[in-house]
Amino acid sequence: MTARVLVVDDILSNVKLLDAKLTAEYFEVETASSGAEALDKIAANEPDIVLLDVMMPGMDGFEVCRRIKANPATAHIPVVMVTALDQSSDRVAGLGAGADDFLTKPVDDEALLARVRSLVRLKMLTDELRMREATGKSMGLLDPAETLSEERPTGQILLIEDRPESAAWMSAALTPDNQLLSVETFEEALVRVREGNFDLIIVSLGLRGFDGLRLCSQLRSLPEGRNIPILVLVSAGDRRKLNQALEMGVNDYLARPLDKNELIARVRTQLRKKRYADRLRQNVHLSVEMALTDQLTGLHNRRYMTRHLAALLASAAGSGKHLAFLIIDVDHFKSVNDSFGHDVGDEVLREFASRISDNVRGIDLACRFGGEEFVVVMPDTEVTHAWAVAERLRKSVEATPFAVSRAPGTLNITISIGIAGSEGPTDTAEALLRRADQALYRAKRDGRNRVVADAA
């Protein structure tokens, strides 16, 4: 794995040492000798990870980290404090400033590289989501995900620990701010993850009844557990287990003996990241949905219909079944907008979309084609049956006035509908749409408020 690493330290020998270690592992290394220089370089060329000393003149590492995490453009970049400070209070301060980890000098080479690879790998997953989200933002479809600045995030935590005294201690430390469920067995852990909606899983790697690493692997293989951060508890000095855990995708770790404040700080960091990742995924899903859905009516849009009509027509031809295509126009809709305003016009269109949905089947594809035009694609349907459905819809629109929020309170609306049916293997989506449009033209020419089929 290669990545861009920014090493920040005011002592040249320290910088050269880390540069040599990382370059030997094929990382691309950039350096900075002060906090201000580091922030400038991050803004100019975003690194994949920052290795940051704490004790620097002018602006210390804690302040640099806080500024990185407070900036929405850089908050997702992992920061590892690499420092001679070795007290628990120092680690808690670093984590509180937003650091992803805190390594004490002299740093074990294997531990450093394992942590860098792990954090870079996790960042790449976030980068992919951010890239997809950016597409939605560029289209004006959605707001960006919030930064990683929530101070006291809370969530539902699953603790897997078979030592009752340890489980009780962690439960006391993490509640009542969080909801915590503690289990002791491999099987119950898997069942709970499948059933639950957890924001964090804490796994003791010192479990007596089964292999904690194997459990982590199983949790990562579950669809329900794939996106839940995992924090492992490891015995001090057990580098082998820790490195294996990081390699398989564990998000964070805590060495025994456990420190309450550090536990809380690391849990909050993971909950904060989970919130951010969930929002990114939600935005990605929303951008896809919005790209294919008409936002006013909730029906599929023209783009969706265009992409699917040819496939539906080919399926009908292949099976020897019929397909009917309806194009519907709200009569004199311009006068509604001119007389009552576009907001009332929008109310009419929303209500009409609802009536279309009420009159078609689940397998039918209802879309807003544009403006006041709508289409319905009806698989496995002959024109005669489609005509009956269209006539039922036309009568229901004519018979029941549309409620609107402005005087006179209701409006009488009528619609015109053109219908065309598929004509065998050589038929095309463009030809089908053209025939339906011609039928609609005849319906409007002949006085509107009527249904006309292409064969008529």
Give the Cα separation of 213 and 256 in Å (integer).
17
Strands 200-204 and 230-235: parallel
DSSP annotation string for 250-311: --EEEEESP-HHHHHHHHHHHHHHHHHHHHHHHHHHHHHHHHHB-TTT-SB-HHHHHHHHHH
Which one is catalytic: 133, 161, 262, 372? 372
For residue 233, list its beta bridge partners.
204, 254
Is 94 strand, coil or helix? helix
Contacts 24+ apart (CB under 8 A), 35-38: 35/8, 35/59, 35/60, 35/61, 35/63, 35/64, 37/8, 38/6, 38/8, 38/64
Catalytic status, residue 372: yes
Q: SS in 3 state form for 136-188?
A: HHHCCCCCCCCCCCCCCCCCEEEEECCCHHHHHHHHHHHCCCCEEEEECCHHH
Give the Cα separation of 200 and 229 in Å (integer).
5
Task: Take residue 328 and report the two structure tokens written for it.
Answer: 């519907």
Annotated catalytic sites, by residue?
Answer: 372
